[in-house]
Chain A
Amino acid sequence: MDRHQIETVVLAVLASMLKREVDLNTSRDNTPQWDSLKHIEIIFAVEDELHIEFSEEEMATLDSVANIVDLAITSHAT
């Protein structure tokens, strides 16, 4: 999968889980709906859709669309 495809999946997951429009600048800081419960739902759904697994350390850093996309690309490549 290329970056664009991964971005599309990540944005689709976030839009569905948060029930609002999202873009590449969406982060936990600027999105009140992105609470700790949604956070775990988002991470698990991204993992399932992209068939990847983040490490425990990585999970702690996935606080924005950009970070999720970057780490997903890395995970996908390995």
Chain B
Amino acid sequence: MVDMTRTIDCKAETTIQTALRRFDAQAVLFSPRVSRLALSELQLPPGDRRLRVNVWRNHAIEALLPLMSRYCAYGGWQPDFRLGDYDDTLIFANQHEADAELLWLNSRRFLAQTSFADWSKWLEMRLRVLRTSTVAPIILATWCDDEGESEALQAIADSIPAVFFADIAGASAEAAVALLDLRSAQLAGTPIGKAAQLVLARKLACHWLPATLLPPVKAVILDLDQTLHSGVLGENGIQGVQLTTGHAAFQRHIKSLQQRGIFVALVSRNERTDVEELFTQRQDYPLRWQDFSAIEVSWGDKVAAIERIANTLRIAPDSMLFVDDNPGELANVAMQLPQMHTVMAHTDASLTLQVVQFYPGLWRWKVEADDAKRIQDLGANAERDALAKKFTAPDEYFRSLQIALLYRYNAQEQLSRLADLCNKTNQFNLALRRFNQAELAERMSSEDTCVTSVQLTDRFADSGVIAVVVAERNRERLVVEELCISCRALGRQLESTIILLALRDMPIFTGCREVAFRVQHGPRNTPALNWLGRLLDRVESPLPGLHAVPAQRLLDFVAVEGISLRKG
């Protein structure tokens, strides 16, 4: 008979040991000067999540792979690289299904034979060929001789759905290391020098590949003492705690995350009035009290505090990163919320800064205009709640809130934001198809399919694009393949208006007799399932599969009064 207590204890111990090993590894992985020897001696268990990456190349990447493996293990994932033969012609032979396609190109081999203009034209054509053969995201990793050429490659990447330009020269320059070292080129099979290899291995494993393949981190929760400053507020006092150069830089970086739409929250064991007073008096702190979207200061349990923060931000723990200097506290969080990301804050805050800067899932290829709106939008919720208490009739409330919904159909320029919505939305996501840019672009250009976006504004904030609906016409049936509403727009009784009007006004809706919704169950999509249950007049949650309603139901639907509805 299995001793369950013992099994649970073993599991908990493994979780704690893994967490502690990860924290120990931070000093090696994120040192300003990474040592290959120290890196090779790191013993981190491989991540659970396996992801397949096809590598199309004309120079060696092998030297980077063992370096990358440590960073991937730290990030909790395991790449399965399928290396193609060296091929300057990019014929993409023997292509297997993969989660991502990586083009690892030595531009010098091409530019020795041809001009940049001709090469970039040819490269764009090859990227488009690869795009048509797969919907997996494509990373073009190469370098150019000057900024103008890099901008040209960036423009090419931007012009093709789900293609990203990994600027190898830019990454090396940012790290202040030489990109090329011809001394070792023949032996290594690549002109990329040894210092640049370390930089690029980290960049690939912590930024480029996670931003393409892993769910994004949406919030950073920070401890206060020994994390945002040196010292303990309760012991050293407001003027006694030190804002070292490293802590100031760390706080500035956190502030920049917030400006990129990543929520910042504070969790601290202190007296709340003391902490509030600290942020009032210490004008030298780059972070201000109002920068935190959620604040939990008490002597209570930090796990419970984090759960409350998750509730306030409407973000699940697996999309949040917790930074604390206390390994015991971190291990406790890792044990009780195993899906949560954790980072140990170091005495040297510049090291903490490096760890957070490179934490997999925090970096983004692009910051969308809508990202910055997220923080402001959440901040406006208190004002919305206050207004809701004044009115009992929904139409009066909507009118006073001046809610407007803008519907747009097949808007190519919104591809990036719509793919973000498909991949970041967990609660109101009916089919969990997780379409990427390429898949959405395909559906925008086909006659039988349609992609609708919905933008929400009210008198307090522009929430940006908060919903995406993807449908396909199948004879007299409209099949809803994907349906996502950002958690920002939930709780305002707008769901049916957003969805049913989006579907009803699709050109492919005309002549349909029924609308079928594709359902898949996920760990957190109960709000979407409940909504569909209500539409189907059922008490129980709809099972995975297709669920149809007559098209007339949509035609008869009357939107809540008081909302301004527009088509773009």
Which residues of A are at the interface with B, using a C-beta cutoff of 8 A?
12-13, 16-17, 37, 39-41, 43-45, 47-49, 53-56, 59-60
Contacts and interface: CB of A to CB of B under 8 A. Distances in A.
A37 B183 contact: no
Contacts of B197: 44
Residue picked from B36, B182, B194, B197, most chain A C-beta under 10 Å: B36
Contacts of B35: 45, 48-49
Interface in B167-216: 182-184, 186-188, 194, 197
Interface in B544-563: none
Contact of A41 (B63, B182, B183, B186): B63
30 contacts: A13-B37, A16-B40, A37-B62, A37-B63, A37-B66, A39-B187, A40-B63, A40-B184, A40-B187, A41-B36, A41-B63, A41-B66, A43-B184, A44-B36, A44-B63, A44-B184, A44-B197, A45-B35, A45-B37, A45-B40, A47-B194, A48-B35, A48-B36, A48-B37, A48-B194, A49-B35, A49-B37, A53-B183, A56-B186, A59-B183
Nearest to B38: A16
B41 interface: yes
A41 B187 contact: no
Nearest to A58: B183
Interface in B32-47: 35-37, 40-41
Given A12-B37, A37-B63, A59-B184, 4 more contacts: A16-B37, A40-B184, A56-B182, A59-B183
B187 A45 contact: no
Contacts of B194: 44, 47-48
Contacts, number: 48
Interface of A is mostly: helix
Query: Which are the 5 A-B pairs with shortest beta-carbon distances?
Result: A45-B36, A44-B194, A16-B40, A56-B183, A40-B188
Interface string B63-90: 1001000000000000000000000000
Contacts of A40: 63, 184, 187-188
B187 A55 contact: no
Residue picked from A37, A47, A60, most chain B C-beta under 10 Å: A37
Contact of B41 (A16, A43, A56): A16
Contact of B40 (A17, A55, A60): A17
Nearest to B190: A40
A1 B184 CA distance: 25
B183 A55 contact: yes
